Amino acid sequence: GLSGRLGDVLEKLRGKGSISEDDVKEAMREVRVALLEADVALPVVKDFVAKVRARAVGQEVLKSVTPGQMVIKIVHDALVEMLAGEVGGAADDEDEDERSARKRDRVTEALDLNTTPPVPILMVGLQGSGKTTTSAKIGLRLKTMQRKKVLMASLDVQRPAAQHQLAVLGEQTGVDTLPIIMGQKPVQIAKRALDEGRKGGYDVVILDTAGRLAIDEELMEEVAEVRKITNPAETLLVTDAMIGQDAVVVATEFNEKVGISGIVLTRVDGDSRGGAALSMRAITGRPIKLMGTGEKMDALEEFQADRVAGRILGMGDVVSLVEKAARSIQVDEAEKLARRMEKGKFDLEDMLSQFRQVRRMGDVKGLLGLMPGVGKMKKQIEAANIDDSMIKRQEAIILSMTRRERRYPDIIKASRKKRIAAGAGTTVQEVNKLLKQHQQMAQMMKKVKKMGGMKGLAEQMG
Ligand code: GDP
Ligand code: MG
């Protein structure tokens, strides 16, 4: 429960209290309907709802939103998290310098192509899902953004026009295609493609396979055989966002019988709500790497979980309302803190308030934005290795102080330290460490004032 020792700042944050089981039940009924309407498979809906239900109960409600709205936001965030998964390529925490040193392209970075060339990419999926189109889109992208030498080969011997279709797209994009030899089987074509890839000094060989209208054994065996002999760096399951409930069968079969490394969702430009994405992600555990957003050759993007989550849930208004409420509290609190800092004041309540802001923003970089002299602080913070659990432990220490102690840290002597440490379940050394850290920050705030505000300090610290 909320103890009476908490300061005004914290009281204000509490809004309407926390989310009850009833609030969750009611909101979850809406969520369930929304997900089913978006064509998410029933078992996936059940599983997801159960997980999020547990997460939502007891969470704080922001002022100016209802508990129900708050639950929707929690559901939305869980959806994004689940859809996002991890995607290969460059890490997000990459330095700005590294970033600008290299031309970044999120589409090609989503693919994991770190093997000896020629690197095979295998495209699999049902007929009409967009394999051939996506093959050419990826080929074009690798060629233009990464300067790769790409060879494409159609293994589709089912339809007479299929190999020709890829050749036409190759001409259109300026990406080489393997010469067509009629009468060859898919495995033979794949071998010939890799052979040509080696001889011709190609970086990447894209293998576009045939699809059927429905899953069939022969097709699966054929594709599995091709995968076995080519050992692709990526095996991408291409599926239409409109596939609906069939997504479960398709994803399960391809994942179990062929093995896939990732998913490409096509026709995201259509009006399907794209629940298939969630089903496929949940069932295969494989990341959704790319999405097709049109028929044109440049209509290929890195998969954007938040965009698809918004469509699946179809409650964008509620989500943005809650986000706005969260932002306004951050702004309130940040402004209050900034005003105090300008005056050279920084007590333990300010420190607590800052910790909470940092945690709310999700990472330590949030703190940097609030602090003067960002460049220097950044290194210090990194050196101190501040993480979420560490901040929580420090919060606990401040929370077990009395209000007077937080306002006037000087009164905290040995016996008080012992009591505070016991209350926070930690040691006196940790309490000392926190007090010292606070002292350093408070000194810096005084310096800020002396030098005529943050601008002066920032200039000095560089
Ligand atoms: P395949 O049978 O799996 O090789 O599918 P195709 O690549 O031949 O694509 C079938 C149709 O879907 C073609 O008309 C493509 O232009 C179209 N298509 C593929 N991807 C997209 C997409 O992201 N958006 C839209 N609107 N159409 C697409
Ligand atoms: Mg095709």
Return the pLDDT at 59.
Answer: 82
Determine the Cα–Cα distance for residues 367 and 286; give it in Å rounded to an integer.
34
CB 380 within 8 A of CB 368: no
Q: Is 76 left (phi over 0), alpha (psi -120 to 50) or beta?
A: alpha
Mean pLDDT of 376-386: 54
Q: Kindly report the average pLDDT of the chain as a whole number.
A: 84
Which percentage of the chain shows pLDDT scores above 90? 52
Nearest residue to 283 (alpha-carbon basis) of 33, 82, 10: 82
Mean pLDDT of 110-138: 96
Residue 188 has pLDDT above 60, yes or no: yes
By the 10 Å C-beta count (0-12 exposed, 13-18 middle, 19+ buried), 36 is classed as middle
The response to whether 55 counts as a known ligand-binding position is: no
354 pLDDT band, cuts 50/70/90, is confident
- At a CB cut-off of 8 Å and minimum separation 6, what does 365 contact? none
Sign, CA torsion 185/113/304/145: negative
Helix, coil or strand: residue 281: helix
Return the pLDDT at 388.
Answer: 66
CB 283 within 8 A of CB 252: yes
| Span from the CA of 129 to the centroid of ligand 1 (angstroms) | 6
Mean pLDDT of 332-336: 73
Sign, CA torsion 322/307/84/126: positive
| Span from the CA of 53 to the centroid of ligand 1 (angstroms) | 38
pLDDT digits (tens, 9 = 90+) for 434-447: 999 999 888 887 87
Whose atoms come closest to the Cα of 134: which ligand?
1
CB 24 within 8 A of CB 71: yes
- At a CB cut-off of 8 Å and minimum separation 6, what does 406 contact? 7, 347, 348, 349, 352, 398
Return the pLDDT at 234.
Answer: 98
Query: Tokens in use for 36?
Result: 């089913």
Mean pLDDT of 249-254: 94
Least confident of 244-258, 328-342, 386-400: 328-342
Ligand 1 pocket test: pick from 165, 268, 295 the residue with the most ligand atoms within 8 Å of its Cβ: 295
Query: Tokens in use for 267?
Result: 């026709």
- At a CB cut-off of 8 Å and minimum separation 6, what does 150 contact? 139, 142, 143, 175, 176, 202, 203, 204, 205, 206
pLDDT digits (tens, 9 = 90+) for 36-65: 999 999 999 999 999 898 888 888 788 778
| Span from the CA of 6 to the centroid of ligand 2 (angstroms) | 64
Domains of the chain: 8-85 (1.20.120.140), 100-302 (3.40.50.300), 343-461 (1.10.260.30)
- The string of DSSP codes covering 374-397 is HHHHHHHHHHHT--HHHHHHHHHH
Query: Which of the listed ranges 59-63, 260-264, 319-323 does the model predict with the highest average pLDDT?
Result: 260-264
Determine the Cα–Cα distance for residues 30 and 87; give it in Å rounded to an integer.
31
CB 400 within 8 A of CB 424: yes
Determine the Cα–Cα distance for residues 402 and 357; give it in Å rounded to an integer.
21
Mean pLDDT of 343-372: 68
Least confident of 134-143, 194-203, 295-304, 446-455: 446-455
103 pLDDT band, cuts 50/70/90, is low
The response to whether 128 counts as a known ligand-binding position is: yes
Query: Tokens in use for 309?
Result: 């989550």
Nearest protein CA to atom 16 of ligand 1, as residue: 295
Angle subtended by helix axes 453-461 and 316-342, to nearest 10: 90
Residue 101 has pLDDT above 50, yes or no: no
Mean pLDDT of 179-199: 96
The response to whether 133 counts as a known ligand-binding position is: no
Helix, coil or strand: residue 15: strand
Q: Which segments of 243-330 are extended strands (E)?
A: 262-266, 288-292, 300-302
| Span from the CA of 128 to the centroid of ligand 1 (angstroms) | 6
292 lines ligand 1 (CB under 6 A): yes
User: Sheet containing 176-177: which strands, arranged edge to edge?
Assistant: 176-177, 150-154, 204-208, 119-124, 234-240, 262-266, 288-292, 300-302
Least confident of 2-16, 218-232, 277-291, 399-413: 2-16
Return the pLDDT at 386.
Answer: 56
Q: Which segments of 77-203 are extended strands (E)?
A: 119-124, 150-154, 176-177
Looking up tokens 């709802």 gives: 49
Residue 362 has pLDDT above 70, yes or no: no
CB 398 within 8 A of CB 346: no
Query: Tokens in use for 75?
Result: 């559901």
Angle subtended by helix axes 388-399 and 348-361, to nearest 10: 150
Mean pLDDT of 125-129: 94
Determine the Cα–Cα distance for residues 224 and 187; give it in Å rounded to an integer.
10
